[in-house]
Structure 1
Amino acid sequence: MEQSRRNPMAMARARHALTQAGLDPSVELVAASSVTNEVWLTPTHVVRVNRRPNQRLRREAILGPGLPAEIGYPLVVAYGGRLGADWLVVRRVPGEVLSRCWPSMSVAQRRDAIRQLAAKLRRLHRTPGPADLPRIDAPQMLRSDTLSPVMSLLVALDQARALDHVDRGLIDDAEQMVFDLTPAIEPFDGDYLIHGDLTFENILWDGERITAILDFEWARTAPNDLELDVLLRFCCFPQLHVAPDYRHETHARDYADVPWWLADDYPELFSHPRQLDRLLLYSIAYDVRDLMSAPPRSAVELDDPHHAVNRLRATVQRRSHLDMLDTAVV
């Protein structure tokens, strides 16, 4: 947020988007926290600018108008831009980011929020994906359009053996684990939507109710329990998934009950006989993609316990965040 506020080019991109959307470009702009995009607020609209060359916001512009009303997704006003600077303008929805509110919420408020979230997720997971939704390289290296859902993951693991500062023995163990766990996710298909990046940064709360689930850039059709991969990461390591300005007040202990509450309210999401195996494979597929996107440039980077290499090692050694969760949930 602070970086955007100090960056005149970021503000210029937002004003250009307002102009292209037919809105007043001179209106006051307030930079909002975001982990992935440049986000600006006007009194009535939200402007998001994606600086990555993937046009994720185009997918959201296509998807948003077809989402069920219960999700609370805002009205799409306009989409445009170019590769590396595409933008989306939507109407503002009442509420504050849930992860900002969470530290000061009572246990009763938190419990009610999860009950509401479960209902909205169940509705989303019964929504067919639009036929014209462009494909996206998902956070997890798993695909439904290949002979095996793990083909791209296995290719990436093979490439990872050549990376500097990455233990080949770790990659061998991860590969074997993928072979062992793959039957748990087959067939890997789904006709209904998942959000794909479900953290509390993407949920709005007005003090009594969830008013909207936002940021559907990574939404796609997939098995509904794939939704748990990012969500459980968020619950266990929330400080890694929020904007820097309130990271210091974001603690895992405040989210410790969330997986259990969600399992109570949405038991179908946790009902597969091999649920833990599925989640472990989802986790490997996420971490390998992260590793290949940003390979370690020096051994010093591996001092970070949350580096993709260390997360992968924890999963292989069965001491990951998933293994720490009670088996009643996973």
Structure 2
Amino acid sequence: MPNHPPTTPANDPTLLAILKAAALPTTGSFLPKAGWVSRVWVGENHVVRLSTDRFPDAYHHEAAVVALLADTDVPHPRQIAQGTAPQGPWSVTERIPGRTLHETWPTADTPTRQSIIKSLAAALRALHRIPAPPNLRPPWLINALAGHPWPAFHPPVVSATLQNLEAAQQHEDHDPQLLKDVAIWIQDRLPLFATDEQVLVHGDLHGSNIMVDQGQVTGLIDFAEAVAQPADVELDTLLRWCANARDYPPTPDRQGLDESTLTEVPTWLHNAYPELFDRDNLRERLNFYDLYVELAIHAHHPQPDIRQTAQHRIANLLSGHNHLDRLHW
């Protein structure tokens, strides 16, 4: 989001209808922004989103999660209102200062970048101190695990890994021997998670879901994929983003960050939040989360070529290699 006020009058009929439904003034200016799964209007005080409903009940889930953040040290935008219009579900949140980390990062110098990650570590530590309701999952993920279409393939849910394996085995194009090896690999590593505490995990944390102003994180946004999982599940998307940042453009028509600018991020995060990394067999745990994501894609993605790419990545992982090889902390 820009630091300067929006200059586009609020004259979009859909936007005006949402503002009226939310009992908010219909005057003022809003900047329209594109999104992956929603239309967004950024105002001086509020952010309005209209969902394509690809993720059913996502805004209800997000509002419930944001309610858990009240009276905590987790920086986040307050929920103002939500509802449903003829065009789809909508949500209004407060506008918090700054721009996304994705927008801020390219022009920030090294001390500023390090300050941002230190501030992010503090926000995550506060988030992971919040006990999550048992089995907290987004509605779309609950539906997907029940056999409905998969609109996304993250965040990892340890207890659903074998379920994804069974689904992958139903495809005619699966490799029986590979999935047999995967089953053994999973069973050998499930004990690593037996005594984990379930905490509130954002589940989709990367440059576009972190707000920054003057070298500090002003808010974590988009809690639509928040889950109850071990805290180090948070590292799955964060480290995947660091290694493959070009795969995380903020909108379909833009580019992701250059991975070479994120080289130090894992080290800075580790130094500022060491307990997030302080797990026995951390690399094996991170490999397990990676397998979950690739197995979900292999099992559920509608495009055969993408399923095959995931299968190749699974084979590579079982041989001891994945994107984590390129990272250091």
Q: Distance in 2 between matches of 1:73 and 1:164?
A: 45
CA contact (8 A) 2:201 2:229 kept: yes
In the alignment, what sits opposite 2:50?
49
* Count of residues in Structure 1 that have an aligned counterpart in Structure 2: 305
What TM-score do you get using the length of structure 2 for normalisation?
0.82
Matches within 5 A, 1:98-113: 98-113=101-116
**Secondary structure at 1:71 match in 2:** coil
In the alignment, what sits opposite 2:124?
121
What TM-score do you get using the length of structure 1 for normalisation?
0.82
Match status 1:19 vs 2:1:
no
In the alignment, what sits opposite 2:191?
183
In the alignment, what sits opposite 1:79?
82
Report the Cα offset of residue 134 of structure 1: 6.5
Q: Distance in 2 between matches of 1:161 and 1:282?
A: 19
Matches within 5 A, 1:1-330: 13-25=14-26, 28-50=29-51, 51-67=53-69, 68-81=71-84, 85-129=88-132, 136=139, 137=141, 139-140=154-155, 142=157, 149=159, 152-190=160-198, 192-244=199-251, 247-248=254-255, 250-297=257-304, 299=305, 301=306, 307-326=309-328, 329=329
**Secondary structure at 1:217 match in 2:** coil
Q: Percent identity?
A: 28
Give the 3 Å change call, closer, same or farther, for CA 140–62 of structure 1 in structure 2. closer
Instruction: Could you tell me which runs of 5 or more consecutive residues in structure 1 were left unpaired when the two chains were aligned.
Output: 1-10, 144-148
CA contact (8 A) 2:245 2:256 kept: no
In the alignment, what sits opposite 1:5?
none
Q: Distance in 2 between matches of 1:315 and 1:240?
A: 19
Please, which moves more after superposition, 42-51 or 275-284?
42-51
Q: Distance in 2 between matches of 1:291 and 1:24?
A: 47
Q: Distance in 2 between matches of 1:84 and 1:286?
A: 31
Q: Distance in 2 between matches of 1:108 and 1:74?
A: 26
Report the Cα offset of residue 53 of structure 1: 4.4
Give the 3 Å change call, closer, same or farther, for CA 188–34 of structure 1 in structure 2. farther
CA contact (8 A) 1:124 1:193 kept: yes
Q: Deviations over 1:166-209 (max 9, x none)?
A: 4333323322221121111213441x311111112111111332
Please, which moves more after superposition, 310-319 or 200-209?
310-319
**Secondary structure at 1:215 match in 2:** coil
Q: Distance in 1 between matches of 2:137 and 2:117?
A: 31
Please, which moves more after superposition, 89-98 or 170-179?
170-179
RMSD of aligned alpha carbons: 2.9
Report the Cα offset of residue 295 of structure 1: 3.6
CA contact (8 A) 1:49 1:88 kept: yes
Letter in 2 for 1:74: P
Q: Distance in 2 between matches of 1:325 and 1:83?
A: 46
**Secondary structure at 2:24 match in 1:** coil
Letter in 1 for 2:319: Q
**Secondary structure at 1:70 match in 2:** coil
Letter in 2 for 1:142: V
Q: Distance in 2 between matches of 1:314 and 1:295?
A: 22
In the alignment, what sits opposite 2:5?
none
In the alignment, what sits opposite 2:145?
none
**Secondary structure at 2:73 match in 1:** helix
